[in-house]
Amino acid sequence: MDIARERTLSDIFSGFAAYQPEKTFLIFEDLDGQHERWTFSQFDRRVNQTARWLRRMGIERGQTFALASMNSPAFVALAIAASRIGAVMVSADYRATVDELTYLLAHSESRLLITGVDQLNVAQSASCATPVQELVVTGCQGSNDHLNFEDEVERQESSRPDAESDADDVVQMLYTSGTTSKPKGVMLTNRALIYGAEVFAKGSGLRIDDRHLITLPFYHAAAQCHAFWPSLICGAGIVVSPRFSPSRFFPLAIRHQATLAALFSAPLRMLLSQSDQPGWQSHRLRNVTFAIALSQQQFDEWDRRFHVPLQHLWGMTETVGLPLMSPLYGPRRLSSMGCPVLGYEVKVVNDSGQQLPPGKNGQIVVRAKPGRTVMKGYFRDPEATAETMRDGWLYTGDNAYYDEHGFFYFVDRSKDVIKRGGENIAPSEIESVIKEVTGIREAAVIGVPDDTYDEVPAAYVVLEGDCQVTVETILNHCRNKLAKYKIPVSVKFRDEFPRTSVGKIQKHLLR
């Protein structure tokens, strides 16, 4: 038995709905400033209606459905409803291209797709060659062609449906890029999400009287595991925005009296780039968690301008929770990734798996109980699962060292991954798209430093013989095939690539 016990996310939420029925659970403010407010009891009934609607749409226990939309109350209702009936929710990137969304829907075996009106054209095209049997639109009035999510849910009874689910059910599947050309589906159970949320709540000081501001996208583990699920298991309230906006962040926090928020270094830099605004320091935020370090100068400027402590943390979708966090009390040493937190065991190992002493660079590994303290595994990919989880440890692919006080410091990634503002990008995915262009023999994509996003992709290309291909041709093809954040910032031509003795491209020399 562990801290997750035999609970489900749905049952925890219903428990708080009974305990504090009139307390505000969710405040949603759209980009036009219009907002809606739900109490715990109101939203619990909404979850019941959503669960009944999913069942009516043919989604049973263990079956998969997908949502591709900006943040909204629909995500919150669907995520808790998935736990209520034991279904699997796939949170898709709303910026995905047709090819990207087609792969995700087909690979995840999603039978139903709910999408925002802005993503409708992409969703329609992507659904054609997938198991999706119904396409439903959220956030707008329905049409003759598609059902409207809000209208359909509103028609359902609000009593709790008769459905089975338990702690070991996979209820979320998040897709994350790795070293392969295609993203992998990370299977997350009720139990693992609760375990990670309990650990985060303890490490961040999250309490029942808090109100968490969520501006990061729900399709990313950060918004879910750094904010939403910890708030739910604590009975705290949440303030949700469709997306992050540097000009709206502090006004939202002030207007809705938020006390915590989760960000990445890129949004922090965007906030620092804003001109000083009178009144922004009147917020009630007492802690902002973030990933990926800033410079010391930026940390100092943040303290001077915004008067809210930052707490650095590290984790992956696969770890579910945050194994490393800055101490809640005492010196936080924000240039480090943090220290191991209660509930996780972390060490640094060499290529043979042997633990290294302080000051020695190696790979971070995390003690793992699949489906309990970390992910259950990669969906339909037992080989990648076995490679990542070995002998009771999850191998992260991140290289670091730790000091004599137990603080960990990031060095680099052993896996070929670009981390753009917290988003994992597989260079091989971009390379595969570039090589589709006629006349290109080889492509190599690397991450280059960026003042705002930490890293951005840049491409190097070798052409076939005397073929002539323009940079714009390559970029246009990428724009048609890849989400905007994956498009290279530059394309450079080379006669050949530097290689190792066995022919592997030496990307460090390209850098």
Summarize the confidence of residues 412-441 as an average pLDDT.
Answer: 85
Count of beta carbons in the 10 Å neighbourhood of residue 331: 9
Residue type, position 231, single letter: S
pTM for the whole structure = 0.88
Per-residue confidence at 421, pLDDT binned at 50, 70, 90? confident
**In this predicted structure, what is the pLDDT of residue 504?**
66
The region of weakest confidence among 99-103, 362-366, 438-442 is: 438-442
Query: What does the radius of gyration of the chain's CA atoms come to, in whole angstroms?
Result: 23
Beta carbons of 189 and 169 less than 8 angstroms apart: yes
Q: What is the pLDDT of residue 503?
A: 59
User: How do residues 120-175 score in pLDDT, each as one tens digit?
Assistant: 999 999 999 899 999 999 987 656 688 999 999 999 999 999 998 999 999 999 99
501 pLDDT tier (thresholds 50, 70, 90): very low
Alpha-carbon distance values, 451 to 71, 74, 134, 164, 189 (Å): 26, 34, 42, 49, 36
Q: Which helix (H) or strand (E) holds 138?
A: strand 134-138
For residues 96-103, average pLDDT: 94
Write down the pLDDT at residue 142: 54
Q: Has residue 110 got a pLDDT over 70?
A: yes
Q: Which residues sit opposite 136 in a β-bridge?
A: 114, 147
The pLDDT, as a whole number, for residue 49 is 98
Enumerate domains of the chain plus CATH numbers. 1-189 (3.40.50.980), 336-414 (2.30.38.10), 418-510 (3.30.300.30)
The least confident of 45-59, 178-192, 225-239, 306-320 is 178-192
In angstroms, the CA 105 to CA 88 distance is 13
**pLDDT (tens digit, 9 = 90+) per residue, 368-408?**
999 999 999 999 999 999 999 999 999 999 999 999 999 99
Q: How many Cβ atoms are within 10 Å of 168's Cβ, its own excluded?
A: 15
3-state secondary structure of 366: strand
Residue 217 near residue 223 (C-beta atoms within 8 A) = yes
**What number of other Cβ atoms are within 10 A of residue 225's Cβ?**
27
At residue 506, the pLDDT reads 77
User: For position 502, what pLDDT does the model report?
Assistant: 47
SS3 of residue 508 by DSSP: helix
Angle at 417 between CA 360 and CA 388, to 5 degrees: 70
**Residue 172: per-residue pLDDT:** 98
Q: Is the pLDDT of residue 443 over 50?
A: yes
What is the average pLDDT value for the chain, to the nearest integer? 93
Measured in residues, the chain has a length of: 511
